[in-house]
A and B are shown apart, each in its own frame.
Chain A
Amino acid sequence: MATVITSIGSKSTTGDPVNGQMTMISNTGSGTPWTGTLVVGSAPTANVGDMVFFDNVYYNCGGFGGGCSGPADIIYLITAVSSTTLTIKYISGGANSAPMDLKANSMGSSNAQPYVLRFYSTINTWNTGLNDSVLYTLNDIAQGELYKDSDFTINTTQSNSGGQDTGLLDARITVPSSQRHDGTAGSGVKFKLASSANCAYFNLNYNTGTASNDVRRLFEWIEYDGQSYGQAGCRRPVYLAAGGSYDYYGEVNHWILHNFELGIGSNNMNYGIQINAQYSCAHNNIIYDITTESGSAADGVKAIGMSQDNNNILICNNTVYNIQTDSSGQDGIGIALYDDHRIKCINNIVVSCADDCFSNSDGSEIDGNNNLSSDSTAPGSNSVTGASAADLFENITAGSEDLHLKDEAEALRAGADLGTGYTIGSNVFGGTTTSITTLNIDIDGRNRDSEGDDWDIGADQCEDCSEGGAVTNTAFMIFMDM
């Protein structure tokens, strides 16, 4: 089992590379595919998952009398980086050669000079590659890493649905820590909806395959901006339909999802994150400014909701703000779940909704605790009701939103400690053995568990914030009044 990392970004041509041509010094390695280390003249900008690319080079250069085959483009995958040393694996093109055997001219008189480029330019080509046996073998973990070379403008569904034939354990789309957002829009890897005519959603989907094992799937640390385009006929920006057992569970975490105007037709519901499968988890996401499209005949919109009654679902530590509708006859709901002891709703903030902040989908109360709402609907024990967005968040100014917690926010220290996991039935969500990620990393990357924090409600853990608190202030005010 290996984790195979491949990069995704637009610095993917020799005209605008991750790193320009390098001078090779030496290499050590062997095998088919050739695997080893390549030492270059000066430390390049290179990342695990990028490719070392030889552009139109010559190979199989003979000894006596010279002469080479080629030219050809030859690609290696970078699997480790240490200063001037790159650990690489041959992927395709020309011949399975040691890089130092690749030459710049047909006479083989000078070494080739490779570039560093991204491996893929789109998520969908990464997804197509999940069934490529050159890259992956049984029980590998495929990890696509997004780079903020430019914003990703998308016009069609971004799929995480391949790999069932190579027999992957996990198919993960993530963002390297250096490229992640800081909890506010525009600060990290960002996807933008191309136009109002596009229904482009992130799809974690399960397909049967020829391999014996199934695939767990993940999208994380992504900002997706709907740009307030009115999307007639579009239902959701994120679709969690991967789960069916813990072997192929689906997860989305640390997203910033905002400015969507969704407009699926009459007798239908729109969703920010639509959960349509068992064994699903959405945690530490920030969702704001979601509404129904102008003129839509939809029933309404839910920031996080289920389209059918399933179980083994955990919704925790999300922050949801400003879920509205185009007309008064529609529902604008924050989190709507079915009542089931194996569907849990914990540590979520939902404020400023057109209707209920939290809503059951089948007539009884959501199973959860330590939630917070601006109305009276936060379910379960230790929940907070009647909060206001202005008192919770750093900044709710349109165009400059910052939904980090502020001093004296009622969410401070009011969350349940989920430690390093939460058990539903016999499954540990956020556990180190059964889940893909842990629950305890906040929207800024702070580890609530290792830092020994008293958990806040929502996606942000604000240790710098002072609790203040109504009790202390009230006592002070009473004293002054007397």
Chain B
Amino acid sequence: MEVLVKVGTVTPDQKYYQDGDIVAAMSAVQIEYCHAEMACHVDKAGFNGVGLRDVDSLLYRYMEKTSKYKFIRLNSNEVKRINLLTVEEDIISTTPNADGEAINVAQFLRRRLVNKRHKIFGGRQGQEIWYGGNAPRDRDHSDVLWNEIEAHSDNLKANCCNWPFTPLEKSGFLPLNCCGHKQGEVVEVSDGTCGERASSVKVEGEPDEDGRSTQVMVAKKKWQIPYWDLAVELGIDVSEVRDKDKKVDARSSGDKHDWNHMDDIHVDKVAAGIVIL
């Protein structure tokens, strides 16, 4: 996982960001999808002679691997819908099915094709293809997607391991990476854990008028990395980190086994008594 750590404190009030707070945390899968989307971006796809996107484009391959539904126009009235996760198929037409689903395909496509970023594919009009819904976004699906991208382009997953923090974020914050560790093995940190590490501290407030519970924020961020005490572990010069005119990127590009362990450098501010409930 990668984290962005707040540098500097405006006020000691924990309702504000504090020095060392984890402002953002990104999982490896999240980072890989971000780079995949940029590599396969619709603006890079171009149009073919009939104003559609080519079915051998990188965008097409991306949509095929990241969507739940594929729609194929069969004729002036009918569309085949394929659930790419279950391979179930059905036909949608102007006549509503049992769920009330119906489509005027000509009208639907007319509206979509007006958009210069449309994602309607095909070699000829009348046989258009488009996608909808989402396939799961997890380690397995990311690997399959990147296999496809690497097989059909010069993009390499190995070059897409870092979140694209801007120069301003690198000079105003401290980017770090760290790994999970379980039973002596390096493990990938999940999206759920990443989200929790960037979360705030809330407590139960007064019930609302319907007697339902409410929440009150008591600290902007729950977790911190006390980088000022971890200069050796993180390989940083603390004075440079605190100099906003200097960019410090403490993300390691080496073997993950040599990365800092998440549980060694993350501090739960509630458990540590920094935030009092």
- B-binding residues in A (CB < 8 A): 10-13, 15-16, 51, 53, 55, 72-73, 75, 91-94, 117-122, 124-125, 128-129, 131-132, 148-151, 153, 155-157, 165, 182, 184-188, 192, 194-200, 205, 207, 225, 227-228, 259, 267-269, 276, 299, 307-309, 361-362, 388-390, 394-402, 404, 406
Taking a contact as CB atoms closer than 8 A, the residue among B25, B101, B111, B199 that contacts A396 in the complex is: B101
B194 contacts the other chain (CB 8 A): yes
Mark each residue of chain B from 1 to 38: 1 if its CB lies under 8 Å from any CB of chain A, else 0: 00010100010000111000001111100100111011
B165, A12: Cβ atoms under 8 Å?
yes
Identify the closest chain A residue to B114 (Cβ): A182
B194's partner among A155, A157, A362 (CB-CB below 8 A) is: A155
A-B contact pairs, 15 of them (CB 8 A): A12-B164, A75-B171, A120-B166, A149-B37, A194-B137, A195-B138, A197-B191, A267-B213, A396-B100, A397-B101, A398-B101, A399-B132, A400-B69, A400-B71, A400-B132
Decide if A394 touches B214 in the complex (CB within 8 Å).
no
0/1 string, B153-168, CB within 8 A of A gives 1: 0000001000111111
Residue of B at shortest CB range from A210? B11
Chain A contact residues: helix, strand, loop or mixed = loop
- Asked if B112 lies at the interface with its beta carbon under 8 angstroms from chain A, I say yes
* B38–A10 touching, CB < 8 Å: yes
A406 and B104 CA atoms in complex are apart in Å by 10
Candidates B101, B130, B169, B195; contact of A156 at CB < 8 Å? B195
Q: B144-152, B204-212, B257-265, B269-277: which one contacts chain A?
A: B204-212
Of residues 208 through 253 on chain B, the ones whose CB sits less than 8 Å from some CB of chain A are 208-214, 217, 244-247
B37 touches A124 (CB 8 A): no
Which of A151, A395, A397, A404 is close to B37, meaning CB atoms less than 8 Å apart?
A151
Instruction: State how many angstroms separate the Cβ of A289 from the closest Cβ of chain B.
Output: 10
Is the CB–CB distance between A269 and B24 below 8 Å? no
CB closest chain-B residue, reference A229? B136
**Are A404 and B191 within 8 A (Cβ)?**
no
Are B100 and A390 within 8 A (Cβ)? yes
B71 adjacent to A122 (CB under 8 Å) = no
Q: Are A398 and B69 in touch, CB under 8 angstroms? A: yes
Closest to B38 in A: A150
Please determine whether A390 and B96 come into contact, CB atoms closer than 8 angstroms. Answer: yes
Tell me if A361 and B171 are in contact (CB < 8 A): no
Interface centre among A156, A184, A268, A404 (most CB of B within 10 A): A156
Chain A residues within 8 Å of B133, by CB: 398-399
The 9 closest A-B pairs by CB, nearest first: A197-B192, A399-B132, A155-B195, A399-B69, A150-B37, A194-B191, A195-B191, A399-B133, A12-B166
Residue contact A165 to B10, C-beta cutoff 8 Å = yes
Can you name the residue of chain B whose Cβ is closest to the Cβ of A402? B108
Q: How far is the CB of B95 from chain A (nearest CB, A)?
A: 11
Chain B 69-95 interface 0/1 with A at a Cβ cutoff of 8 Å (1 = within) = 101000000010100000000001000
B217 proximity list for chain A (CB < 8 A): 205
Q: Which of A153, A267, A389 is most buried by chain B, counting CB atoms within 10 A of its CB?
A: A153
Contact in complex: B134, A192 (CB < 8 Å): yes
Tell whether A92 pairs with B165 under 8 Å between CB atoms, given A150-B38, A397-B102.
no
Q: Are A118 and B166 in contact (CB under 8 A)?
A: yes
Given known pairs A192-B137, A307-B214, A399-B69, the reply for A155 and B132 (CB within 8 Å) is no
